[in-house]
């Protein structure tokens, strides 16, 4: 099966998570992604949080599948020359170095554009260009705090809380991938490359747009009826943390199921969809609630929504989370079990769909990773293991026209 991005060559000058998540996605869909890494050490994640001594850590392997690895010291004259050759032959350069690092290396946008006017130069930074924090180095949780996610996540009586989901890192990488594909289509129209920049703060804000919605509603009316603070608690002038409340017009909460006393994940998420009220009442064995004026409308339910959740929890007390969902799904009620990572790793449906895949690796044997969450009718992305450090150095150099002797010299000078 041919892959849509076959023929697109990408210089993957990325590290840690935000950049690698972007280029990995493009590699799945057929791009030739050449990961450029410092000789000797490589991407810092190769050795971070290792579970097997001396083998590439899962942090690296799970973000760098389907790529080739070229070791290159881009600060030596020989290394710069190799990079320049690569730039002339590539379609995209992706980087997520600290602000100014690429310029300090001598590869400003102007220089790259001069070397290859068709090149798309894509960058992740913590903050956008011109922002008063644009000189900052940024990691995941910093972005979640600067992007409004932390102030609106967690419980009202606790501190701002970050999410386990990589809203700052992988999410930014996904935004950048969209930017790159857009620029590639744009290049097809103009014949010219361009600079594509995505900031981690902006990407988090983009996912927090419903909280900006809430800020404006709060400014106007002084309360937010879908938050647990309504109607009994207090609102200040900023969007509060709403615990596990549903973020839209459908109230919901995480509810205890059988075994919650010992199993930290024996819970389901239960949504009270307005038009599903009748089936909910039937599922719970509370048909009298259907026409009771205290329960019949969403507005009537809101003041005592937590009493309703308590009644549902009483119904759930003798049911596992799976049993509960199996009953509720028959009534068309939007709900799901709270799944642990262990359950996700072993879920047969996720294995069958290719969302969780086991891939071979030269040092590790096999490892589990997340495959493409995007499914196509005409493409089945095949996930391959991540490359060892410098595994493809000689191969890539010879593709660039270097002779065996020249490659040997580059090794001797430690430029590759």
Q: Which stretch binds ligand CAO (CB under 6 A): 72-80, 241-249, 273-281, 323-331?
A: 72-80
CB neighbour class for 368 (10 Å; exposed up to 12, middle 13-18, buried from 19)? middle
Adjacent-strand bridge partners of 269:
254, 336
- For residue 212, how far is the Cα from the chain centroid? 21
Asked if residue 404 binds ligand CAO (CB under 6 A), the reply is no
- How many C-beta neighbours within 10 Å does residue 287 have? 11
Indicate which single residue of 9, 38, 131, 213 sits in contact with ligand CAO (rule: CB under 6 A): 38
Q: Which stretch binds ligand CAO (CB under 6 A): 23-31, 99-107, 219-227, 324-332?
A: 99-107
416 is known to lie in a ligand binding site: no
CA–CA separation, 103 vs 106, rounded Å? 5
Q: Report the residue number, 141 or 250, with the smaller CB distance to ligand CAO.
A: 141
Asked if residue 80 binds ligand CAO (CB under 6 A), the reply is no
Asked if residue 393 binds ligand CAO (CB under 6 A), the reply is no
- By CB under 6 A, what part of segment 137-176 binds ligand CAO? 137-140, 169
CA–CA separation, 126 vs 144, rounded Å? 10
Q: Report the residue number, 36 or 266, with the smaller CB distance to ligand CAO.
A: 36
Indicate which single residue of 52, 98, 254, 374 sits in contact with ligand CAO (rule: CB under 6 A): 98
Q: Report the residue number, 98 or 300, with the smaller CB distance to ligand CAO.
A: 98
Adjacent-strand bridge partners of 336:
269
| Cβ-contact 415, 76 below 8 angstroms | yes
- By CB under 6 A, what part of segment 314-353 binds ligand CAO? none
Which of 270, 272, 250, 264 is closest to 339 using CA atoms? 264
**Shortest Å, Cβ 412 to ligand CAO:** 17
Asked if residue 16 binds ligand CAO (CB under 6 A), the reply is yes
Q: Which stretch binds ligand CAO (CB under 6 A): 123-131, 209-217, 255-263, 373-381?
A: 123-131
Asked if residue 36 binds ligand CAO (CB under 6 A), the reply is yes
CA–CA separation, 152 vs 173, rounded Å? 23
140 is known to lie in a ligand binding site: yes
Asked if residue 96 binds ligand CAO (CB under 6 A), the reply is yes
Tell me whether residue 169 is one of the annotated catalytic residues: yes
Q: Could you say which of 169, 202, 307, 332 is catalytic?
A: 169
CA–CA separation, 151 vs 201, rounded Å? 13
CA–CA separation, 162 vs 165, rounded Å? 9
3-state percent breakdown (helix, strand, coil) of the chain, nearest 5: 40, 15, 45
Instruction: Report the greatest alpha carbon distance in the chain.
Output: 86
Catalytic residues: 169
Residues of the shown chain interacting with ligand CAO in the complex, contacts defined by CB under 6 A: 16-19, 36-38, 72-75, 96-98, 101, 104-105, 124-126, 137-140, 169
């Amino acid at each position: 099966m041919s892959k849509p991005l076959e023929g697109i060559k990408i210089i993957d000058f990325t590290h840690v998570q935000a950049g690698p998540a972007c280029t990995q996605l493009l590699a799945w869909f057929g791009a030739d992604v050449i990961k450029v890494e410092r000789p000797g050490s490589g991407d810092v994640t190769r050795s971070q949080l290792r579970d097997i001594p001396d083998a590439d850590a899962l942090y690296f392997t799970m973000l760098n599948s389907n790529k080739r690895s070229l070791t290159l010291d881009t600060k030596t004259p020989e290394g710069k020359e190799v990079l320049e050759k690569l730039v002339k032959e590539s379609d995209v350069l992706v980087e997520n170095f600290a602000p100014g690092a690429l310029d300090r290396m001598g590869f400003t946008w102007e220089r790259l554009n001069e070397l290859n006017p068709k090149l798309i130069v894509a960058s992740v930074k913590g903050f956008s260009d011109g922002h008063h924090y644009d000189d900052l180095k940024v990691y995941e949780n910093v972005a979640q705090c600067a992007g409004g996610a932390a102030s609106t996540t967690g419980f009202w009586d606790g501190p701002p809380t970050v999410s386990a989901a990589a809203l700052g890192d992988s999410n930014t990488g996904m935004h950048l991938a969209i930017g790159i594909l857009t620029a590639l289509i744009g290049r097809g129209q103009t014949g010219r490359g361009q600079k594509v920049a995505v900031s981690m703060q902006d990407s988090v804000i983009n996912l927090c747009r419903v909280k900006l919605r809430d800020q404006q509603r709060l400014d106007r009316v002084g309360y937010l009826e879908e938050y647990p603070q309504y109607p009994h608690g207090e609102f200040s002038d900023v969007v509060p943390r709403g615990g596990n409340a549903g973020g839209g017009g459908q109230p919901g909460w995480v509810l205890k199921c059988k075994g919650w006393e010992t199993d930290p994940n024996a819970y389901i998420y239960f949504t009270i969809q307005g038009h599903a009220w009748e089936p909910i009442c039937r599922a719970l064995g509370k048909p009298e609630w259907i026409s009771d004026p205290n329960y019949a409308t969403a507005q009537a339910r809101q003041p005592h929504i937590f009493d309703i959740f308590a009644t549902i929890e009483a119904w759930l007390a003798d049911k596992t989370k799976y049993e509960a969902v199996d009953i509720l799904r028959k009534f068309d009620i939007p709900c799901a079990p709270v799944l642990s990572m262990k359950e996700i790793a072993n879920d047969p449906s996720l294995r069958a769909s290719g969302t969780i895949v086991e891939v071979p690796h030269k040092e590790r044997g096999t490892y589990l990773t997340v495959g493409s969450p995007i499914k196509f009718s005409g493409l089945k992305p095949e996930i391959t293991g991540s490359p060892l450090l410098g595994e493809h150095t000689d191969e890539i150099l010879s593709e660039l026209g270097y002779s065996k002797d020249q490659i040997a010299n580059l090794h001797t000078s430690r430029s590759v």
